[in-house]
Structure 1
Amino acid sequence: MSENEVVVDGEVVHCIGCGAKVQTTNKDALGYTPKSALEKGLQNGEVYCQRCFRLRHYNEIAPVSLSDDDFLKLLTSISGTDSLIVYVVDIFDVNGSLIPGLHRFVGDNPVLLVGNKLDVLPASIKERKVRDWLRQRANSAGIRPIDVELISAKTNFDVDHLLDQIEKYRDGKDVYVVGVTNVGKSTLINAVIRQSTGIKELITTSRFPGTTLDRIDIPLNDGHSIVDTPGIIQPEQMAHHLVGKELNLVTPQKTIKPKIYQLNPEQTLFFGGVARFDYDSGDGKHGFTVYAENNLYIHRTKLENAEAFYEKHLGDLLSPPSENRKDDFPPLERHEFKTSQKSDVVIEGLGWVTVPSDVVVSGWAPKGVSVLIRPAMI
């Protein structure tokens, strides 16, 4: 018995909606119920976890996370089905969005790759380039998607088209929607529910008979379902190093407005305190274009002063992280690149810097967060 489980009269309390063991300590874990809601539920004999309560009363699916082992069990069960896999990734954190070993678990099931958060990309970026790049990243991870779709679940952009594509590719099968946390999968599922049931129609657990602690089944007209699965926690995501308002300052919220910095060799740009870019060497001054959240503070300084500057100002001028979290923030790791063509240095989860050919540059990110280089998108 877990010390977090709620026990009444010697028995563990379960959510009557999904069967999860009720707990009041971890908001991100299965079975979470606020203490005040638990007390009311125990009085009237109907204890719902927060996830099921939101589903019943607000047409809203709250994201939940499983342990790696539980998630692998779920993936293994999917491989034994005859279904379509809809794999949702974050355009700004593709590496952090990748599920390790997914190709081994989908079996012969086709995979439809969905890049979310298209709304924050500048209009000058061609969708074809984004699709091609996403396909390449998937291929490098051993996944051969049957198609690549780009959407914005937040603004509902092209969700209708995605549903049409799902209908086309599922060919009368069930659909499993998978993805790590923080990719917008729940936002997408909520959009699907709105379009499937109508925004004003109350959704109850009885309408979703497959609502269990590890999946939510959205019935389709032919007796099959779209199955929402919990997100797996991917510790390499930039988002996992941030909390609350910090996340909004780093993760692009609206369409990015590119900023051009004229840099001399041996100059540095700090992105708050969460990332860094160095122009190490090259043939004089060049323009470097930054694509990142519009409200993120960017500070320019000399490369020779960068280490001391970071140590002195992390948590105040270089924020996020905040002052009270700077000691817990992971150290930044350096990734060096020499370009032979116009390229983008991508700091996953934050954005990228477009750099000219024939320069040596470095991208810095928290330990474990990917920094990579690709041919320039623009």
Structure 2
Amino acid sequence: MMEERWCEGCGVELQTERPHAPGYVPPSALEREHVICKRCFRIRHYNEIAQVDQDPDVYLQLLDQIAETDSLVVQVVDLFDFSGSWIPGIHRHTGGNDLLLLANKVDVFPKSAKYQKLKEWVYASAKEMGVQPVDVVLMSAAKGQHIKEVAAAIERYRAGRDVYVVGAANAGKSTFINRLLQEYGAGEEVVTTSPYPGTTLDAISIPLNDGRRIVDMPGIVRQDRVSEWVAPEELEEITPKKELRPKVYQLEDQQTLFFGGLARFDFVEGERQPFVCYFANSLYIHRTKLERADELWAKHRGELLSPPKNPDSLPKWKRHRFYLNGREKEDIVIPGLGWIAAGLNPAQVDLWVPEGITVHLRPAIL
């Protein structure tokens, strides 16, 4: 009988019997000191993306185990997709443990964005979610920005305890852990990373020099954001990797913007005003008249209006109506895709997105 071993890249239990199931390794691979599963091997060496069916409830049950420990919880959120990468009810899953909040991907924000203002915005947003973090640090795991500050904060707040790192799928959690371990002296990638959500399949325990450990928990799947409905090969097109170049549209009422084939924005009523679009630079935005929008969608979806190339892969669209009061700047947020900054004047707008996506208004982040 095979001795129980786990993949060092994604945490899944290794097995040698079923080549197409999670955790498969050829029997000869078990002779190595460090073993990763076939899926992690192909992600790392061939950039191959393999989707795995995930049960969000199972991952949340894993989080519940943290409440039974005395530890520091480090929650990684995607600053670009804050609401879409938040774990609802995180404080209920982690008990009374201290929570350090890391806002990742600060590098994609315009250089004009003020660090302190963004940090205060994250604090306020976390408080609205029912969480009082011991601290907030903005960082870029991909670029290594502020990692030393993060490492110092973890050492300060963990006070000799274990560290549990949690986050939604694709928030950059595993990339962050690899960066952090470099600060601790590990010179190579330990945790497998890929642009597709759900790469880490089980908890990965990494020992520290003082006998404690960092535990990388699997990413929580949020099916109420657009990114979960995009094919792996199209995810790169909607995920910002470089500094955002916001696109400003001076719209008259009765004009429409299409965001690829993933969302539609109708300016129904109001004075001419600017709408500033914060999306991945590679996402195609098309402007048209509202009266032509349905015809354009029927004729060009999956072609001019893409991604997705296969629009039938999405749930049917649902309309959400918003009334902007014109007294404050507000963001109209599409989780997993981006946001539209508005609110210069009163307006009535409609946002069409796949059914199940939780769009909302929030105080402007910029």
Instruction: State TM-score, norm by structure 2.
Output: 0.84
Deviations 1:208-228 (A, max 9, x none): xxxx97322222232211111
Residue of structure 1 equivalent to 2:127: 139
Deviations 1:107-165 (A, max 9, x none): 11011111111111112222233223323332233222111111110101111111111
Q: Is the 8 A contact 2:273 2:345 kept in 1?
A: no
Residue of structure 2 equivalent to 1:372: 360
Residue of structure 2 equivalent to 1:321: 308
Counterpart of 1:301, as a letter, is T
Residue of structure 1 equivalent to 2:95: 107
Q: Is the 8 A contact 2:259 2:286 kept in 1?
A: yes
In 2, the alpha carbon distance for the partners of 1:301 and 1:243 equals 26
Residue of structure 2 equivalent to 1:332: 317
Shift of 1:250: 1.1
Shift of 1:203: 6.4
Residue of structure 1 equivalent to 2:194: none
Q: Name the SS of the counterpart of 1:231 in structure 2.
A: coil
Runs of 5+ in structure 1 lacking a partner? 1-10, 205-211
Shift of 1:42: 8.0
Residue of structure 2 equivalent to 1:24: 19
Shift of 1:25: 2.9
Shift of 1:238: 1.9
Q: Is the 8 A contact 1:272 1:297 kept in 2?
A: yes
1:349 to 317, 322, 336: 336
Query: Does residue 309 in structure 1 map to residue 296 in structure 2?
Result: yes
Identity of aligned residues (%): 44
Number of aligned residue pairs: 346
* Matched ranges for 1:37-76 at <5 A: 38=26, 40-41=28-29, 48-50=36-38, 67-76=55-64
In 2, the alpha carbon distance for the partners of 1:245 and 1:234 equals 19
Shift of 1:251: 1.5
Cα separation, partners in 2 of 1:136 and 1:65, compared to 1, 3 Å: farther
Deviations 1:242-297 (A, max 9, x none): 123311111112100111112110100001001122211112x2222211111111
Q: Is the 8 A contact 1:125 1:377 kept in 2?
A: no
Q: Is the 8 A contact 1:38 1:47 kept in 2?
A: no
In 2, the alpha carbon distance for the partners of 1:179 and 1:151 equals 15
Residue of structure 1 equivalent to 2:249: 261
In 2, the alpha carbon distance for the partners of 1:328 and 1:312 equals 17
Shift of 1:56: 12
Deviations 1:312-366 (A, max 9, x none): 21100101001xx221212232222222223221222222222222111223322
Q: Is the 8 A contact 1:342 1:357 kept in 2?
A: no
Q: Name the SS of the counterpart of 1:290 in structure 2.
A: strand
Range with greater deviation from structure 2 (97-106 or 176-185): 97-106
In 2, the alpha carbon distance for the partners of 1:368 and 1:69 equals 18
Q: Name the SS of the counterpart of 1:232 in structure 2.
A: coil
In 2, the alpha carbon distance for the partners of 1:330 and 1:52 equals 30
CA RMSD of aligned residues (A): 3.2
Runs of 5+ in structure 2 lacking a partner? 192-199
Shift of 1:66: 5.8
Counterpart of 2:268, as a letter, is D
In 2, the alpha carbon distance for the partners of 1:127 and 1:198 equals 29
In 2, the alpha carbon distance for the partners of 1:292 and 1:335 equals 19
Cα separation, partners in 2 of 1:136 and 1:87, compared to 1, 3 Å: same
Cα separation, partners in 2 of 1:100 and 1:19, compared to 1, 3 Å: closer
Q: Is the 8 A contact 2:72 2:162 kept in 1?
A: yes
Q: Is the 8 A contact 1:15 1:49 kept in 2?
A: no
Query: Does residue 183 in structure 1 map to residue 184 in structure 2?
Result: no
Residue of structure 1 equivalent to 2:181: 193
Query: Does residue 293 in structure 1 map to residue 262 in structure 2?
Result: no
Q: Is the 8 A contact 2:329 2:363 kept in 1?
A: yes
Residue of structure 2 equivalent to 1:6: none
In 2, the alpha carbon distance for the partners of 1:301 and 1:377 equals 27
Residue of structure 2 equivalent to 1:87: 75
Range with greater deviation from structure 2 (343-352 or 249-258): 343-352
Q: Is the 8 A contact 2:321 2:350 kept in 1?
A: yes
Q: Is the 8 A contact 2:168 2:221 kept in 1?
A: yes
Range with greater deviation from structure 2 (159-168 or 363-372): 363-372
> Larger Rg: 1 or 2?
1
In 1, the alpha carbon distance for the partners of 2:178 and 2:30 equals 29
Deviations 1:91-118 (A, max 9, x none): 2222222223321121110111111111
